[in-house]
Chain A
C-alpha cells in the first residue's frame, strides 16, 4: 500500500529537473528524514495517521520545493554554458592571433635579447651591440 511519503516522493520525482544522480540523492535524503520526523511525532504522542499528516504539513508544498530546486539547477546550467562560451571565444581569439602572426612574420627579426650585452657598459660592448642590430636589420 502506498503511503503518504511514497506519494510525496513520487510527486517530487516527476517534478524535479537536473542531473539524475543529484535528484536520486535528494529523494533518498528526504526519504530518511521523513522517517525521522515521523518517529519524532510518534514519540511526542501522535497517532500514526496524525504524525504522517503533521510531517506532510511541515514539509510544505512539493511544488514550491521543486520550483526552488529547478531554479537553482537552471542557474547552474546557465553559468556552465557562459563559462564554456568564454573558453571557446578565448581559443578562437588565440587561434586568430596565431594565424595573423604566422601570416605576417615570415622574416622574423633576430630577437633583441641576442644583441644585448648584459652587464657590460663599455664602448666596445656598445659597438658590438650596434653592429649586431645593424646586421639584423634594426634601425635606431
Chain B
C-alpha cells in the first residue's frame, strides 16, 4: 500500500456494474462458458504485459476450484479499469492477485456475493489495490490497512499466516545460530 491508487468509489461502482459475462461459469469443465485463461491474457495485453510460457501453466484452470476461477474473472473486470492501464503494474503483483488472492478470497465468499454485497464489493476492491501495492486515493496507509483488516477475513488470515511464517523462520535462524560453535566454525584468514 505504498502508493496512492484510484478512488475507492470508482472501483466499487465498477464492480457493481460488472457485465453478466464476468459472472458466468468459468471453463473448468467442458460444458462451462468462459475461458478464464483467455480473459487473463487479454487483460495482460491491456496492461502492457505480454503473456509468457510460464503463464500458461500458472493460469491453467485444471485443478483450480471453480469458485476461485470465478473470483479471478471478477478481478480481471476490476483491472480493466482505465486507471490500471496507465499504472504500469508489475507482472509479479498481478500474478499474486489473480492466482493467490483470488484463491484466498474464494475460500470465504462467492464471486456473486462480491458483487451484490456492498461490504464485499469494498473488500475485493481493497484487496485488489493492496496486492498491487496501492491504497485508495485520499487514505493514509494505516487507514487503508485498518479498514481492509476489518472487512476481510481472507486478509486477516493472510496477515496471520505471514506472521506465523515469519516467526517460524526467525525461530529457525535463532536455533541454527545457537547450534553453531562459539567461534571459528569455518576458516577465516584472521581473528576479530
**Do A and B bind?**
no
